[in-house]
Amino acid sequence: MSWNSFGRVLRFTTWGESHGPAIGAVVDGCPPGIALTEGDIQPWLDRRRPGTSRFTTQRREPDAVRILSGVFEGRTTGTPISLMIENVDQRSKDYSEVAKAYRPGHADYAYDAKYGFRDHRGGGRSSARETASRVAAGAVARLVIPQVRVRAWVEAIGGDAIDPAAFDPAEIDRNPFFCPDPMAARRWEVLVDTARKAGSSLGAVVACEATGVPAGWGAPLYAKLDAELAAACMGINAVKGVEIGDGFAAAALSGEQNADPMRPGTDAPEFLANHAGGIAGGIATGQPIRLRVAFKPTSSILTPVETITRDGAAAEIATRGRHDPCVGIRGVPVVEAMVALVLADQALLHRAQCG
Amino acid sequence: MSWNSFGRVLRFTTWGESHGPAIGAVVDGCPPGIALTEGDIQPWLDRRRPGTSRFTTQRREPDAVRILSGVFEGRTTGTPISLMIENVDQRSKDYSEVAKAYRPGHADYAYDAKYGFRDHRGGGRSSARETASRVAAGAVARLVIPQVRVRAWVEAIGGDAIDPAAFDPAEIDRNPFFCPDPMAARRWEVLVDTARKAGSSLGAVVACEATGVPAGWGAPLYAKLDAELAAACMGINAVKGVEIGDGFAAAALSGEQNADPMRPGTDAPEFLANHAGGIAGGIATGQPIRLRVAFKPTSSILTPVETITRDGAAAEIATRGRHDPCVGIRGVPVVEAMVALVLADQALLHRAQCG
Amino acid sequence: MSWNSFGRVLRFTTWGESHGPAIGAVVDGCPPGIALTEGDIQPWLDRRRPGTSRFTTQRREPDAVRILSGVFEGRTTGTPISLMIENVDQRSKDYSEVAKAYRPGHADYAYDAKYGFRDHRGGGRSSARETASRVAAGAVARLVIPQVRVRAWVEAIGGDAIDPAAFDPAEIDRNPFFCPDPMAARRWEVLVDTARKAGSSLGAVVACEATGVPAGWGAPLYAKLDAELAAACMGINAVKGVEIGDGFAAAALSGEQNADPMRPGTDAPEFLANHAGGIAGGIATGQPIRLRVAFKPTSSILTPVETITRDGAAAEIATRGRHDPCVGIRGVPVVEAMVALVLADQALLHRAQCG
Amino acid sequence: MSWNSFGRVLRFTTWGESHGPAIGAVVDGCPPGIALTEGDIQPWLDRRRPGTSRFTTQRREPDAVRILSGVFEGRTTGTPISLMIENVDQRSKDYSEVAKAYRPGHADYAYDAKYGFRDHRGGGRSSARETASRVAAGAVARLVIPQVRVRAWVEAIGGDAIDPAAFDPAEIDRNPFFCPDPMAARRWEVLVDTARKAGSSLGAVVACEATGVPAGWGAPLYAKLDAELAAACMGINAVKGVEIGDGFAAAALSGEQNADPMRPGTDAPEFLANHAGGIAGGIATGQPIRLRVAFKPTSSILTPVETITRDGAAAEIATRGRHDPCVGIRGVPVVEAMVALVLADQALLHRAQCG
């Protein structure tokens, strides 16, 4: 099956392939009366845009978004918001070899197994290019919940992690790695450059924090806030793991070590720890929501890898063309977008039932 | 919002609280003509049943399931299957203190923040007791996809992991820990006993493998197989992390290290590795599906923890009563059930679109 | 496919067969804090209950509802409300002939064609008995929107209509036909008695009005209020037509005749007519919602009808046993329930998007 | 709420306003491998296109559809199909008066009541222009179920009905009224011309038949085939009534008169009548599906009607501009499209559960 919609009441549907004429998203259920222009969306797309540094793919896409519906005189009308981004820099010739042999780690074989054939140009629908639609939709979601701030960054590349003590949010947008630790950013420059020149690639861990989420958002039991976030992030290209709060580290703790004690506070309880990542029983506690997302290294590498052709013959494939040496870097704005979309949906869901 | 249904075409809805008269699940969309009796469900419930060893809660529940609809002359009719499990061993007196003060790490505060009040008896709806309904529904799901085998086990407790070299599937059901490594099982006996006697608790990591999943199942882009599995598992009580395949370890690898090369095989391609955990582009590759789930330590501990009362006053709470010292152990059959439910749903979804 | 859930955010799922141990509904998404006991539901079930007069089936069912979850200390908790009604007066022997030959007009043949076999006892899942679950769920829905009053009645039986001038709402519950015109009620007594004694049956038209629905409810374009009402009512057993406002009569009018002019009013506009039945563009206008529903005559008749057996052989079937001579009569509380469920769902949906 | 998606597994989402840059639909869940080009869609759009005769609105729209995704080398890939139709002949000046005063019978007041403001240009989102998106999506749906033929026609205009004995399907596309009775078509020419010149409008009844639907499609109990068709048709602009089979006429019959007896047939049972319109228990019986849809007269008329302004002041409004004198005429391809979409969705749903 294909299932290209996400969300319960604030729903979005994306469409489009890497090398088709355009990609886009339809955002439905957005509250009316919100000021919205292309200018509110474009900056977020620009953060995800390829070709901005030598550490990302060299495909040059302006990623200019157009709003085709749902906005009148600068405000949302409550009707579906159609967002379209034209594809400009497709080069189909780069992908001729891919039509014949499956690139291991990519969706090539799986799509063929499922659908019988596939649009092989640039990965078609399975290309990370689709995530531009998510970022555009996420920009709308942010406006639905202006009280919430969603911010992600890269926490580790190829196993080299930031120093938590050096965390400086102001640094995140000052380097091409969304890295909050300037020392780590310098190390990563060498690391990623080396991988890039060798035609290799690296995995990464992206962390995300959402502040301003009020206690009560979350839809137990089968649309729990943490379950929705896990689905939203695990569905991003190349993601293989999601943690809420302490995640796997919590599995090695005792109950005493993992406790998040509470004290009376001024407006809300004061929490003395946040091992839980701001979610209990699938419902926000009012603390910052914290999660971590593991991106595998880009599967496109220059080293030839054993594979098979569409006809089942043995082959070797080395993926030339334009690729991100570390797809996790541009995953930062995508994680943010998905988290914003989940939170905005949960905000409306909460209002539906609890007023 | 509440959202107590899961699944796209094979859907189930659960209901019931820890201390109400009963809990249950309605499974809808099950194919007709499948042989089904209570005897097909009960063994799976018995694996999850409390009170079977000193390492789980001492609440004594027979967890006897009744099929109230959807089966005629021993076969499913294609209409909704209503499953009910009566609660027998509720002891509401145990929970009087909980009504007043919030147990940190539990859903108490979050439910109050969301709904204004809550059924505090035994955690009410947020109790792990609800997972019995999932296990019952999962037993039906298994019958929908008889070609698939879903098997989970505990991989680590309190940070003490099994030796992968000692992995013996036959051991899993021979000890009270679902532990595939007999040496580890012996160590955990001491570990969990110590925690239990101290009124403490421990986290755990559960691993799961599904074999027999054909290439092609999975619904890109927003019901990807891995995203559905992540949502299904992250929604289980006490779960804080989910990994597919190598998960977070993949984030520290290079593209070469993480490659899953392919060779021509007899019926299907032969894969030389399975870093991806059997899923590419959100679609099954035909390899075993592999995932890992992190359970935090049970939040109920005897050590007093700072907290607040419903009225916002400072308090301390020590959670007496009957609790699992390591909730991850009984998480094993629940993880299996959720994985089976996702796979059965994806099987039907795949058939819907791709015949 | 089976699809046994209805609603977008206030959702209910029903289960159960005519001759199984019980039937029931799970209502999910109900707001918390609403006072709810079995006593709030039972009176509505009693209106639909069989065996209360000689004009309905003689099956004797107490239709006593039990609330199994979702209510604590007399108030809804926001978690799923499980409602169960035990079947008491099944007589499976009555239906032995039905197992072999298809009753024309019933779902027998269609269920076999779909599922390969069926629970033939009393119609199994396709029995009108299932509508008791809807009435129970509808009673909950009424409490969600206390400002709304939903009231239905029978407008015609076997082509014999009430006199609109004689409409007296107080009469509706004073006769066994939910007839607002006492003269018509007397005529129908003869009419239905004659049909009943002859083993025949009659069709009916049920009208419904909902007052107190605020302007703005409705979810364009594919969950329009009128579309949801049409689906809700067309899905009731034996229903073959639904009209909103003037319905088919409007198709014979000119634009001038069909206009609903507006004037300034005190709190809301004053409408000078209501041809539209209170809905424009799929959204409530604040006027009374008006709809009409056509029930076909019960398909169970004593006159032998040509049919085929399960093996495809020619046969004749005369449906003995206990049946409603005019199923439309007991359709009145069912129409009310479905309308209440749609309106409560739309109320919550409206709040989700528009605050 | 807005809810702009329809369908369970074959789902489509539409977007766009009458006077925005474009309108469109995203069709998701379409099976892969189906030959599809713009040429398969355009003829159906041309049937609905305005300005083709003096009996429809004089707005001139080429309604040229573009496929933006989901098709590769002429075949569907199984990924979402994005369809876009540019708006060409908007004339916003025509609608200046509408911004101030509400047109009775239109969605103006209801949209303002719901969303606080609205895109008033040409009715914005509530314009019948949106139905072009449905027709485009419906063209795709037809290809999903090539064994099914869906055909609609106008059965009555302003109360003047066709002669059933004169029904000739070949006539339907030979006159501007989709009228299967040439004599009626001639009468309607006068009728509609008179209304048009007087600035008046007329209602209409559209009938639809789907042949080739196999016994078994339909998803009881809450996505019954008839309920889905009712929702699909009642959601079309200006529709106020839907009947399946004999509809309201069945409510005046006895059980004997309404029986659909069966006899053994060659491949399938032979039915001796089709009062039920090919659906029993919400499931197709294999007979032709038959339904009727009532369209109210266009609410836009030249005769001034009492109304109120946005500020609540008394006003009169006469709707100038370009309008269909009988909106039911162009409803024919829209009804066909919605019926095709429901049937294709049910076909896939049936396959999901029943193989």
Query: C69-110 pLDDT, tens per residue?
Result: 999 999 999 999 999 999 998 766 666 777 889 999 999 999
Cβ distance of D281 and C250 shorter than 8 Å: no
Cα A74 from Cα A71, distance rounded (Å): 6
- Name, in order, each residue with C-beta under 8 angstroms of A229's C-beta and a sequence gap of 6 or more: A242, A244, A289, A291, A338, A339, A342, B234
Instruction: Answer yes or no: is C133 a known binding residue.
Output: no
Cα B77 from Cα C212, distance rounded (Å): 42
Q: How confident is the model at residue D92 (pLDDT cuts 50, 70, 90)?
A: low
CA distances from A2 to A118, C182, D8 (A): 13, 57, 12
Cα D277 from Cα D244, distance rounded (Å): 6
Instruction: Answer yes or no: is C93 a known binding residue.
Output: no
pLDDT at B56: 82
Q: Do B50 and B87 contact (CB within 8 A), yes or no?
A: no
Least confident of A211-225, B286-300, C202-216, D52-66: D52-66
D351 to chain B: which residues are within 8 Å by CB?
Answer: 351-352, 355
Q: How confident is the model at residue D94 (pLDDT cuts 50, 70, 90)?
A: low
> B 30-89 residues with CB below 8 A of A?
none
pLDDT at C54: 84
Strand, coil or helix: A141: helix
Cβ distance of D13 and A26 shorter than 8 Å: yes
Cα B306 from Cα B296, distance rounded (Å): 19
CA distance to partner chain B, nearest, from residue D287 (Å): 23
pLDDT at A99: 83
Over the stretch C310-352, which tens digit does the pLDDT of each residue have?
A: 999 999 999 876 788 999 999 999 999 999 999 999 999 999 9
Q: How confident is the model at residue A61 (pLDDT cuts 50, 70, 90)?
A: confident
Any D CB within 8 A of C310 CB: no
Cα A37 from Cα A60, distance rounded (Å): 24
C32 to chain A: which residues are within 8 Å by CB?
Answer: 353-354
pLDDT at C159: 97
Measured over the CA atoms of residue A336, residue A341, residue A346 and residue A347, the dihedral's sign is positive
pLDDT higher than threshold 70 for residue B94? no
| Closest by Cβ to B15, choosing from C4, C11, C80 | C80
B2 to chain C: which residues are within 8 Å by CB?
Answer: 28-30, 78-80
pLDDT higher than threshold 80 for residue B161? yes
Any D CB within 8 A of A125 CB: yes
Q: Do B65 and B38 contact (CB within 8 A), yes or no?
A: yes
Residue A64: what are its φ and ψ, rounded to 5°? Answer: -85, 125
Cβ distance of B124 and C82 shorter than 8 Å: no
CA distance to partner chain C, nearest, from residue B292 (Å): 29
Q: Please state the length of chain D.
A: 355
- Name, in order, each residue with C-beta under 8 angstroms of D268's C-beta and a sequence gap of 6 or more: D215, D286
A12 to chain D: which residues are within 8 Å by CB?
Answer: none
Cα D112 from Cα D56, distance rounded (Å): 28
Instruction: Answer yes or no: is B35 a known binding residue.
Output: no
Q: Which residue has the tokens 């059997």?
A: B278
Parallel, antiparallel, or unpaired for β B279-280 and B283-284? antiparallel
Residue C176: what are its φ and ψ, rounded to 5°? Answer: -75, 5
Over the stretch A273-303, which tens digit does the pLDDT of each residue have?
A: 999 999 999 999 999 999 999 999 999 999 9
Which among B5, C306, C234, A139 has a CA at the least distance from the CA of D230? C234
Least confident of A67-81, A132-146, C194-208, C315-329: C315-329
Cα D149 from Cα D147, distance rounded (Å): 7
Any A CB within 8 A of C354 CB: yes
Over the stretch D197-242, which tens digit does the pLDDT of each residue have?
A: 999 999 999 999 999 999 999 999 999 999 999 999 999 999 999 9
Q: What is the pTM of this model?
A: 0.98
Instruction: Answer yes or no: is A82 a known binding residue.
Output: no
> D 204-233 residues with CB below 8 A of A?
none
Cα A77 from Cα D107, distance rounded (Å): 14
A/D interface, count of CB pairs below 8 Å: 146
Residue B26: what are its φ and ψ, rounded to 5°? Answer: -115, 120
Residue stretches of the annotated binding site of D: 48, 54, 125-127, 237-238, 281, 296-300, 322
Question: Which chains lie within 8 Å of chain B at 3 or more CB pairs, if any?
Answer: A, C, D
C298 to chain D: which residues are within 8 Å by CB?
Answer: 255
Over the stretch C219-278, which tens digit does the pLDDT of each residue have?
A: 999 999 999 999 999 999 999 999 999 999 999 999 999 999 999 998 899 999 999 999
Cβ distance of D17 and A117 shorter than 8 Å: no
B230 to chain A: which residues are within 8 Å by CB?
Answer: 227, 230-231, 233-234, 242
Least confident of A128-137, B191-200, C48-57: C48-57
Parallel, antiparallel, or unpaired for β D239-244 and D204-211? unpaired
pLDDT higher than threshold 80 for residue B252? yes
Q: To the nearest whole percent, how much of chain D has pLDDT over 70?
A: 98
> C 149-178 residues with CB below 8 A of D?
156, 158-159
Strand, coil or helix: B81: strand
CA distance to partner chain B, nearest, from residue D296 (Å): 37
Cβ distance of A69 and D22 shorter than 8 Å: yes
A26 to chain D: which residues are within 8 Å by CB?
Answer: 4, 13, 15, 26
Any B CB within 8 A of C122 CB: no
Measured over the CA atoms of residue C273, residue C279, residue C281 and residue C285, the dihedral's sign is positive
pLDDT at B99: 83
Angle at A281 between CA A279 and CA A285, to 5 degrees: 35
Question: Which chains lie within 8 Å of chain C at 3 or more CB pairs, if any?
Answer: A, B, D
- Name, in order, each residue with C-beta under 8 angstroms of B16's C-beta and a sequence gap of 6 or more: B22, B23, B24, B85, B87, B125, B129, B130, B133, C68, C69, C80, C82
Which among D248, D262, D251, D226 has a CA at the least distance from the CA of D343? D226
Over the stretch D43-80, which tens digit does the pLDDT of each residue have?
A: 999 999 877 788 888 778 899 999 999 999 999 999 99
Cα D15 from Cα A68, distance rounded (Å): 8
Cβ distance of A353 and C220 shorter than 8 Å: no
Counting Cβ atoms within 10 Å, is residue A39 exposed (0-12), middle (13-18) or buried (19+)?
Answer: exposed
Any A CB within 8 A of C282 CB: no
Counting Cβ atoms within 10 Å, is residue A179 exposed (0-12), middle (13-18) or buried (19+)?
Answer: buried
Any C CB within 8 A of B18 CB: no
| Closest by Cβ to B15, choosing from C16, C26, C116 | C26
DSSP bridge partners of C67: C83
What average pLDDT does the structure give for chain D? Answer: 95
In sequence order, what DSSP letters do the residues of B247-294 get, joined into one string? GGGGGGSBTTTT---EE--SSSPEES--TTTTEETTEE-SSPEEEEEE
C354 to chain A: which residues are within 8 Å by CB?
Answer: 31-32, 78
| Closest by Cβ to D33, choosing from A3, A9, A116 | A116
Over the stretch D238-284, which tens digit does the pLDDT of each residue have?
A: 999 999 999 999 999 999 999 999 999 988 999 999 999 999 999 99
Cα C61 from Cα C50, distance rounded (Å): 7
Cα C119 from Cα B81, distance rounded (Å): 13
B/D interface, count of CB pairs below 8 Å: 43
Cβ distance of C5 and B5 shorter than 8 Å: yes
Cα D58 from Cα A39, distance rounded (Å): 36
Which among D43, D36, D47, D102 has a CA at the least distance from the CA of D71? D36
Cβ distance of A72 and D118 shorter than 8 Å: yes
Any A CB within 8 A of D99 CB: no
pLDDT higher than threshold 70 for residue A92? no
pLDDT at A54: 84
Cα C57 from Cα C51, distance rounded (Å): 6
Three-state SS string over chain D comes to CCECEECCCCEEEEEECCCCCEEEEEEECCCCCCECCHHHHHHHHHHHCCCCCCCCCCCCCCCCEEECCCEECCEECCCCEEEEEECCCCCHHHHHHHHHECCCCCCHHHHHHHHCCCCCHHHHHHCHHHHHHHHHHHHHHHHHCCCCEEEEEEEEECCEECCHHHCCHHHHHHCCCCCCCHHHHHHHHHHHHHHHHCCCCECEEEEEEEECCCCCCCECECECHHHHHHHHHHCCCCEEEEEECCHHHHHHCECCCCCCCEECCCCCCEECCCCCCCEECCEECCCCEEEEEEECCCCCCCCCEEEEECCCCEEEECCCCCCCCCHHHHHHHHHHHHHHHHHHHHHHHHHHHHC
pLDDT at D1: 74
pLDDT at B96: 72
Cα D118 from Cα D103, distance rounded (Å): 13
What average pLDDT does the structure give for chain B? Answer: 95
Q: Do C297 and D246 contact (CB within 8 A), yes or no?
A: no
Q: Do A250 and B296 contact (CB within 8 A), yes or no?
A: yes
Task: Report the amino acid identity of residue A73.
Answer: E
pLDDT at A341: 98
Residue B346 carries which DSSP code? H
pLDDT higher than threshold 80 for residue B176? yes
Residue stretches of the annotated binding site of D for FMN: 125-127, 237-238, 281, 296-300, 322
Instruction: Answer yes or no: is C297 a known binding residue.
Output: yes
Question: Which chains lie within 8 Å of chain D at 3 or more CB pairs, if any?
Answer: A, B, C
pLDDT higher than threshold 70 for residue B328? yes
CA distance to partner chain D, nearest, from residue B27 (Å): 13
**Encoded tokens for D214:** 């196999």
Over the stretch D147-157, which tens digit does the pLDDT of each residue have?
A: 999 999 999 99
CA distance to partner chain D, nearest, from residue A328 (Å): 25
Element (H, E) at A314: strand A314-317
Cα B71 from Cα C167, distance rounded (Å): 46
Q: Which residue has the tokens 């634009």?
A: C255
Counting Cβ atoms within 10 Å, is residue C274 exposed (0-12), middle (13-18) or buried (19+)?
Answer: middle
Over the stretch A188-214, which tens digit does the pLDDT of each residue have?
A: 999 999 999 999 999 999 999 999 999
CA distances from B33 to B147, B293, C123, C324 (A): 16, 34, 18, 31
Cβ distance of B353 and D30 shorter than 8 Å: yes
| Closest by Cβ to C201, choosing from D255, D262, D276 | D255
* Helices then strands, each counted (H, E), chain B: 7, 18
Cα B227 from Cα A228, distance rounded (Å): 9
CA distances from C225 to A354, C144, C277, D103, D198 (A): 22, 17, 11, 20, 33
Cα B32 from Cα B173, distance rounded (Å): 32
Cβ distance of A349 and C352 shorter than 8 Å: yes
End-to-end C-alpha distance for chain C, whole angstroms: 35
pLDDT at B53: 84
Cβ distance of C15 and B77 shorter than 8 Å: no
A/B interface, count of CB pairs below 8 Å: 403
Q: Which residue has the tokens 């609903």?
A: C260
Which among D347, D291, D342 has a CA at the least distance from the CA of D12? D342
Measured over the CA atoms of residue A171, residue A173, residue A175 and residue A180, the dihedral's sign is positive
pLDDT higher than threshold 80 for residue A94? no
